[in-house]
Amino acid sequence: MALYFGQDLLTANRLTLSEVNALFESSSYQNWKKGQENQNKAISSVIGGINNVIKGLNMLGKSLNGP
């Protein structure tokens, strides 16, 4: 609760299980979760592209150095 909803731990500990379930099943949380997933996918694709550039530079370096 403290992580996703910005509540301090004392307040989060006072919530009942049904209140917690209602918060995690709410449409606003689901929308936030989808946004986070999309952001993670975008970051992952950028990192994948950078990784491909590094691999390409490594292969270029090996080919320029010769056997």
Mean pLDDT calculated for residue range 1-12: 80
pLDDT on residue 8:
85
pLDDT in tens, 14-39: 889 999 999 999 999 999 999 999 99
Share above pLDDT 90 across residues of the chain, in percent, rounded to a whole number: 70
Q: Where are the domains of the chain?
A: 2-65
pLDDT on residue 67:
66
Residue 1 has pLDDT above 90, yes or no: no
Tokens coding 63: 């080919």
